[in-house]
Structure 1
């Protein structure tokens, strides 16, 4: 076993046994190098392992803080049904449970920011082009930030439906405004992948940059142009969720099985 793995194993055990409870800080680097008889680089590698496991997070001027690793993972069943509420508009498959209150951390805001290479490719615009982004950080009430949600709307769509750039998009939200402008009915596809967060995402979600995240991108395609005109990117720390899918039997897999006739 590599020396940094030994250090990580010992620190992990101390965290799990409660010697370092959630909210506590680990000893300083100088103390750990003395305790374990290793260099600073070995300690850094060990801490990086614990960061990826969601056990600790270095915070400037505070130290290496132990996270609440006892928090139960939220199970997300990714359904395929898009519903509609007459008062709220479209309802997409989400991490929330029926009637569960959620809160917004900070203030939702909208701004024009340079489109990343990925967003530019999805929306068919030049990378770096100032593009409307609506951002919010949410979680179940009383919990730490659970997800970062960015909605990007193409310049063409903003031109056709200017109200999508307003603080209040009106009843039904920005999707209703896009559909009313001639792009309806929108069709959606969802793309899910795992990756590391960028520094801004890690800061807003209060996680380590070493913690992988799930990225779920919901792409909305215009019925008029057959192009993606809006995309909502949901970023969730990987230590907070597990994805659940209910498998269905095709008719060929019905039980009891049909007896095989001798050939």
Structure 2
């Protein structure tokens, strides 16, 4: 059974998402909400705190608590996850073709360091968690919209660094992918896995995410290289891309697999009927 403050939060959430409480409007005073529901101010405060963590509300000091523009209420910038190319090299989707590097405070555009590989990155690269790998960190964004930006950490496989040690410094025109394809004499391929999590404080600061309760989208791009004599392609790099979920959505085409190839065969079973052999209705 839900706690009383959770029930109140549910009612207020419905009013916010339905537009009854529009973005950038002040929420009712807590004492008024407490009187409406017959509860204490403390109970209402807990409901407000829950909605704040969800990113629906924000406190503005003595001005009160206000409704935020939530992702469910605004049209986000859809990031189409596909690899394209222009005179500068590869880029991921038409929405970011005009994006450029955002220098770090010390003036660096890319920070190249050696760091312990996180667990998921290590698994994808086939190494032990915490193994020291070369990582190229950078931030890129829209020159005309400072809040439109992303963080990207490129974790490079140790065998690639052995073959191309210059990747630890400059990558030249076209960047790292061009250098690897020139060395290998064949095309790279990619796969991405998209998830969401709450940002670390330094990520929120870098992405200008001043509000609490907003997650980041995380696109983990795995770069593959097929080689002669190898049945499976080798993982070249794992790129950890993060962006604000309050600003961006991920778009991708939905393709038909072989089993759904047109023309399709007519359905022969009722979707709502119990599966055969599960014992339902049998004595």
Is TM-score (shorter-chain normalized) higher than 0.5? yes
Residue of 177, 182, 187 corresponding to 1:175? 177
Do the aligned partners of residues 19 and 84 (structure 1) sit closer, same or farther apart at CA in structure 2, a change above 3 Å counting? closer
Q: Contact 1:195 / 1:212 at 8 angstroms: preserved in 2? A: yes
Contact 1:221 1:229 in 2 (8 A): yes
Aligned with 2:243 (options 236, 241, 244): 236
Report the CA distance between 1:43 and its aligned residue: 3.0
**Which residue does 2:92 correspond to in 1?**
92
Structure 2: runs of 5+ lacking an equivalent: 35-39, 267-283
How big is the shift at 1:129?
A: 1.9
Does the residue aligned with 2:262 lie in a helix, a strand or coil?
A: helix
In the aligned structure 1, how far is the partner of 2:55 from the partner of 2:110? 31
Q: 1:165–1:35: structure 2 CA closer, same or farther, 3 Å change rule?
A: same
Question: How far apart are the structure 2 equivalents of 1:135 and 1:66?
Answer: 35
Aligned partner of residue 246 in structure 2, secondary structure: helix
TM-score by length of 2: 0.65
RMSD: 4.0
Partner of 1:23: none
Q: Matched residue of 1:120: which SS? A: helix
Task: Give the conservation status (yes or no) of the 8 Å contact 2:225–2:235.
Answer: yes
The more displaced of 147-156 and 180-189 is 180-189
The Cα shift of 1:216 comes to: 1.4
Cα deviation code 1:98-119 (max 9, x no counterpart): 6xx4354442332222111011
- With structure 1 as the length reference, what TM-score do the two structures score? 0.69
Counterpart of 1:179 in 2: which secondary structure? helix
Number of equivalent positions: 237
Following TM superposition, by how much is the alpha carbon of 1:120 offset from its aligned partner in structure 2, in angstroms? 0.7
| SS of equivalent to 1:47 | helix
Bigger mean CA deviation after superposition, 6-15 or 113-122: 6-15
> Whole-Å Cα distance in 1 between the matches of residues 94 and 56 of structure 2?
23
Q: Verify the 8 A CA contact 1:57 1:208 in the aligned structure 2.
A: no
- Give SS of 1:232's match: strand
CA contact (8 A) 1:148 1:235 kept: yes
The secondary structure found in structure 2 opposite 1:143 is strand
Q: Distance in 2 between matches of 1:127 and 1:220?
A: 19
- Unaligned 5+ segments in structure 1 are 21-25, 259-263
Residue 8 of structure 2 contacts residue 44 of structure 2 at CA under 8 Å; is this kept in 1?
Answer: no
